[in-house]
Structure 1
Amino acid sequence: MRIIYMGTPDFAVPALEKLIEAGHQVVAVYSQPPRPAGRGKALRPTPVHARAEELGLEVRTPISLKDPAVQAEFAALDADAAVVAAYGLLLPKAILAAPKQGCLNVHASLLPRWRGAAPIQRAILTGDNVTGVTIMDMEAGLDTGPMRAKHVTPIEDKTAGQLTKELAEAGAELMAEVLEDLSAHPPVPQPEEGVTYAAKIEKAEARIDFARDAHAIERQIRAFNPAPGAFFEYRGERFRIHAAAVEHAGGTPGTLLDDSLLIACGKDAIRPTLIQRAGKAAMSAGELLRGYEMAQGTRVNV
């Protein structure tokens, strides 16, 4: 098939690679424009952009798809289908209508649950037992299109980073399967019941509120690993927690219950097992405490 590929982050790289492996002709790759990154603020291409260039594919990075000229260039590619994975730009009706078989999307949730920008993080935060990927036909609404296939996976104790990698691979395989025979995967309308929305993660959500249940905080830590990183403040310094365990203990929320970094929560307590000081590498709590005192009875986030 002649395919236009549209994606931006690491999540979208496996599906691009799988399309090439399956023998499809990727006539162009659309990705968000390069942005300043690193200390020098040099322009850095997105992961999909970089991988596409390695594969020798044409890459286009329009700021918007609303420009009629951009839409005409898109239509001129005469694609059989467009495959979209975490592209990050709104697709106008003219774009959706251009490919002969329409636009197919890899979405990282079991639709209609968690439509929107941050489905993986929201599933972990809420305590869902399972999540997955859905292949759907795109339409004007936000992740409202009819579904062609699903893959289910348990969340267990996975971080957002681990789950993103797993779902990216599963989505790539599933998209290849659907494209191999579209007639064997007819579109099915999404049910009206069970709709939830995965709002974009705001930076303020990453600050830990120790008045909450320890299990909710542990999920917050996993949901925000690797980014933006759940954190607390101590003596004016920010500490990111990358992993933690829940323990049955009590005390005033935010209080250190021992000299080994056990922190009281609204219910039970949390013990960080992988932690990071600002400007430092992540380390175990034991490594941190060998060079930095956090004494029993003191409080964080005060």
Structure 2
Amino acid sequence: MRIVFMGTPPFAATVLEELAAAHDVVGVYTRPDAVRGRGKKLVPSPVKELACALGLPVLTPRSLRSAEEQAALAALEPDVICVAAYGAILPREVLDIPRLGCLNVHGSLLPRWRGAAPVERAILAGDAEAGVCIMRMEEGLDTGDFCVSRRIPVGDLGAEALSDELANLGARALITALAHVEEGAARWTRQDEALVTYADKIAKGELDLDPEAAADVNARRVQASSAAHPARCAIAERGVTVTSARLAADGELPEAARGLGAEEALFAGKRLFLGCAAGVLEVRALKPDGKKGMDAKAFAAGVPALREGDAKWGRRHG
């Protein structure tokens, strides 16, 4: 089959690598190079970098709504368009181009978590499982029928690790779906509208830790965090990004940390604890502002107040 692929982030690059090894990818669409870093340099997307390395033709239109761009796409004569986290809406005119339709690798167990941030939302909601669906695209937001679904336990996987797992799972699921579609043997499952939930984009500062939240909520914020959306707070007036944390079970707390109140921070038994509105959060690793990442013990060594029992913590402002 002649396949056009559309995608942008690392998740999509993983899917493209598997797809290109199995099929004839005649064109790769990705978002235009973006300004990144302090140097404000234009940086290509992970999909563009991989496509160039594989020698695949790359196209980076800002929109697919113009007649010219649609004609250029149609000229590639794709049998199917495969999409994974492309980052742009496909108009009806594009959806109608390939003879076998457009397939989307969506990182959730549809109809749960339609939308932009399904992995993070699954973690924040405390879902026991996450997954991928190969969905037939239509004009609605992730509303199409799906033909292949795969699931895995979330466990203690962070957002980036879980996304990597789902990308590999989704790549294999897409290969299976393409075989079924080509043979005319795909079995499509309609989504149950009564079970729909939406995965809105993660807002700036949404994953910051808050002593007024429960400890398990803060723990899930850390688990759902990433370089793009860090879990930040202030401990003993020091701004930090928490990179590893967990809900501390009551039976595991050292005596000094039992009954720790909201906003109280303590280093006891070689462990760092933050009191929350309900429960206690144990911080295992963090990155102080302007410094490299470190474990809790290394951080506490430079903060006497944490060992003396009079330290506070809270949301970081600014």
Report if TM-score (shorter chain) is over 0.5: yes
Match of 2:4 in 1: 4
Q: Per-residue displacement from partner, 1:173-192 (whole Å, max 9, x unpaired)?
A: 00011112213322221112
Match of 1:215 in 2: 216
Contact 2:266 2:274 in 1 (8 A): yes
Report the CA distance shift for 1:284/1:27 in structure 2 as closer, same or farther (over 3 A): same
State how many pairs are aligned.
301
Contact 1:276 1:283 in 2 (8 A): yes
1:80-159 matches, cutoff 5 A: 80-159=79-158
Match of 1:252 in 2: 261
Contact 2:235 2:311 in 1 (8 A): no
1:58 matched to 2:71? The reply is no
Between the aligned partners of 1:17 and 1:180, the Cα distance in structure 2 is: 17
Between the aligned partners of 1:294 and 1:63, the Cα distance in structure 2 is: 52
Match of 1:176 in 2: 175
Contact 2:8 2:47 in 1 (8 A): yes
1:283 matched to 2:282? The reply is no
Q: Given the two structures, how large is their TM-score scaled by the length of structure 2?
A: 0.91
SS in 2 for 1:253: coil
Q: Given the two structures, how large is their TM-score scaled by the length of structure 1?
A: 0.96
Between the aligned partners of 1:148 and 1:74, the Cα distance in structure 2 is: 25
Contact 2:267 2:300 in 1 (8 A): no
SS in 2 for 1:203: coil
Q: Per-residue displacement from partner, 1:128-181 (whole Å, max 9, x unpaired)?
A: 100100000000000000111100100011100110000000000000111122
Deviates most, 99-108 or 238-247? 238-247
Amino acid at match of 2:288: R
Between the aligned partners of 1:68 and 1:158, the Cα distance in structure 2 is: 43
SS in 2 for 1:63: coil
Match of 1:297 in 2: 310
Deviates most, 79-88 or 221-230? 221-230
Report the CA distance shift for 1:245/1:77 in structure 2 as closer, same or farther (over 3 A): same
Contact 1:159 1:223 in 2 (8 A): yes
Contact 1:213 1:266 in 2 (8 A): yes
What percentage of residue pairs aligned between the two structures are identical?
Answer: 41
Match of 1:266 in 2: 277
Deviation at 1:257, TM superposition (A): 3.5
Match of 1:17 in 2: 17
Amino acid at match of 2:108: S
Contact 2:159 2:225 in 1 (8 A): yes
1:192 matched to 2:205? The reply is no
Deviation at 1:280, TM superposition (A): 1.7
Match of 2:234 in 1: 233
Deviates most, 186-195 or 137-146? 186-195
Amino acid at match of 1:242: T
Contact 1:103 1:138 in 2 (8 A): yes
Give unmatched runs, 5+ long, in structure 1: none
Give unmatched runs, 5+ long, in structure 2: 251-257
Amino acid at match of 1:21: A
Deviation at 1:279, TM superposition (A): 2.1
Contact 1:258 1:297 in 2 (8 A): no
Amino acid at match of 2:234: E
Deviates most, 209-218 or 2-11? 209-218
Report the CA distance shift for 1:119/1:294 in structure 2 as closer, same or farther (over 3 A): farther
Contact 2:236 2:312 in 1 (8 A): no
Deviation at 1:294, TM superposition (A): 4.3
Q: Per-residue displacement from partner, 1:12-46 (whole Å, max 9, x unpaired)?
A: 11211111211x11111000000112232111100
Between the aligned partners of 1:209 and 1:236, the Cα distance in structure 2 is: 14
